[in-house]
Structures are given as structure tokens and as C-alpha cells.
């Protein structure tokens, strides 16, 4: 029997489904800090809890629940931001290591190919074409091309490097090409997390507006604006100490 979900897991699952159900037209890139948004809505959510009796005639239970979910939506968005950063860091670290190995492998295989070209054992024009490559994708393709070019001379490569060196080089380059492909599982995982993050932002935006409207309906718009701040932190004014003082320009003597 599968383990029962905890309350937090159920909420995450439910709100993920809500976010994924949003129309594409309602989704745009995250434009606010979810922690700021959570703080901005805190007083408003506390207020509607106090005014539950008044609101029962205006809102359904599910509508009230949606407003109370705002902090959880903000927490989930923050979680997704951290997840995206972790995925990107892991991808970057792997790519740096892989490309360092790729460039070193390319250098060694190219030296072997150049030596064989001088001896007339491989096509010099093909070696020159490979040498002219630049950039990460070219380097990966160069290694793949070099492994093909040197296959007839695998025994020579095994003596210079190690048994199976050509196969290992081809595997390294193939993995690199797959990793740099935008359709790779790693890149798709990042893209999916970004999409879900932005969908949560849209959900928060809609419910933030609904929270203000709900409070305004039983008080005033001014009260609603007071209790529910903006999703973005207000710009901080410079203090007197931070304000630059202009030095008067002295006329020439």
C-alpha cells in the first residue's frame, strides 16, 4: 500500500494542478519576489479570517480557501526558484567538467591525426577541417569526427593513449552533444520548472487582486490597499547620508 500523502504534499499537488490548468495567455515571466508577495498579503488574509461571517454571504467556501492559499502558493514559488537554481548549477558544473575533458581529448586526438596525415595515412584536408572548428558544439563534433577518422588506426591510438580510448572519446562527445541539446532531459526539466514557477506567479497575481477586491467589498478600497500591499517591494528612498552632495565648481583664478 502506498504511503499516505502529508497535508503539505496534497496542497502542493492540488496547487500544481491549478497552475498547470491556467490558460497560456495568463502566464508571463515571474515579475515579483514571492517572499515579498507573501508578506504583502499577510495582513489581508488575517483580516478576512476575522471577517469570515461577513464574507460567507459574498464568497463560496472554495473562493475563501483560494485566498487563504496565497502564502502556500508563495512558498511553492520560492521552492521552484530554488529548484531551478539547483538544476542550473548542476547543469553548469557538469558542462564545465565535460567540456574541459572534451577540449583535452580533442587536442590529443588532433595531434595523433596530424601525425598520421603527415605520414599520408589519413586525409590532411579532413584534419584541417576539424582543426578549424571553434566553440563547444564544434569541439564535441570534432571529437566525434576524429574518432571516426582514427578508427582504421585504433591500434595506434591504443598504444599512445589506452585501450578503448577512441570508444571512450566518442561516448564523452555524444553525451556532451545530448546535454547541450535544448531538448535534453536536463534542459527540459529546467524549462518545466520555469514554466510552473511562472504559472504560480500568475495564480498569485490573480488571487492578490481578488484579496484586495474582497476586502474592498466590505470596507473601502483605501482599507484594502492598506491591508494588502503591492507584489513588488516599493523602491527604497536614499537616506540623507546616501544622497550625493554636489561640490560647487570654483571659477578659474
Task: Give the three-state DSSP class for 248.
Answer: coil
Residues 63 and 104 both lie in one domain: no
- Cα separation, 241 vs 40, whole angstroms: 28
Number of separate domains in the chain: 2
In a domain, 250, yes or no: no
Confirm whether pTM is higher than 0.85.
no
Residues 157, 200: one domain? no
Asked if residue 251 is part of any domain, the answer here is no
Q: Is 27 exposed, middle or buried (0-12, 13-18, 19+ CB in 10 A)?
A: middle
**Side-chain half-sphere of 239: how many Cα atoms within 13 Å?**
2
Please check whether residues 158 and 206 belong to one and the same domain: no
Question: What pLDDT, in 10s, does the model give residues 88-116?
Answer: 898 888 888 999 999 999 999 999 999 99
- pLDDT score for 171: 93
**1 occurs within a structural domain:** no
The verdict on 117 and 155 lying in the same domain is: yes
Do 164 and 218 sit in the same domain of this protein? Answer: no
* 30 grid coordinates: 515571474
List of E strands, the chain: none
pLDDT for 118-148, tens place per residue?
999 999 999 999 988 788 889 999 999 999 9
Domain membership of residue 214 as a residue range:
26-87+187-227
pLDDT of amino acid 234: 64
Of 153, 184, 215, the domain-final residue: 184
Distances (CA, A) of 252 to 73, 247, 249: 64, 15, 9
- 178 with 144, same domain: the answer is yes
Amino acid at each position: 500500500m502506498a504511503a499516505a500523502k502529508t497535508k503539505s504534499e496534497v496542497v502542493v499537488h492540488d496547487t500544481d494542478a491549478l497552475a498547470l490548468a491556467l490558460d497560456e495567455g495568463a502566464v508571463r515571466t515571474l515579475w515579483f519576489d514571492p517572499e515579498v508577495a507573501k508578506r504583502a498579503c499577510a495582513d489581508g488574509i488575517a483580516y478576512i479570517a476575522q471577517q469570515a461571517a461577513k464574507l460567507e454571504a459574498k464568497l463560496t467556501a472554495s473562493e475563501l480557501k483560494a485566498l487563504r492559499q496565497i502564502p502556500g502558493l508563495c512558498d511553492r514559488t520560492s521552492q521552484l526558484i530554488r529548484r531551478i537554481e539547483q538544476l542550473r548549477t548542476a547543469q553548469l558544473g557538469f558542462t564545465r567538467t565535460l567540456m574541459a575533458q572534451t577540449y583535452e581529448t580533442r587536442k590529443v586526438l588532433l595531434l595523433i591525426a596530424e601525425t598520421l596525415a603527415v605520414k599520408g595515412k589519413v586525409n590532411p584536408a579532413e584534419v584541417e577541417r576539424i582543426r578549424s572548428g571553434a566553440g563547444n558544439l564544434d569541439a564535441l563534433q570534432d571529437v566525434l569526427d576524429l574518432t571516426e577518422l582514427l578508427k582504421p588506426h585504433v591500434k595506434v591510438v591504443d598504444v599512445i593513449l589506452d585501450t578503448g580510448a577512441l570508444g571512450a572519446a566518442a561516448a564523452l562527445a555524444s553525451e556532451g552533444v545530448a546535454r547541450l541539446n535544448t531538448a535534453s532531459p536536463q534542459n527540459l526539466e529546467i524549462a518545466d520548472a520555469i514554466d510552473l514557477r511562472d504559472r504560480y506567479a500568475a495564480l498569485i497575481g490573480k488571487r492578490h487582486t481578488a484579496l484586495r477586491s474582497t476586502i474592498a467589498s466590505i470596507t473601502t478600497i483605501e482599507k484594502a490597499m492598506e491591508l494588502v500591499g503591492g507584489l513588488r517591494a516599493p523602491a527604497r528612498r536614499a537616506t540623507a547620508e546616501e544622497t550625493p552632495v554636489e561640490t560647487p565648481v570654483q571659477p578659474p583664478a
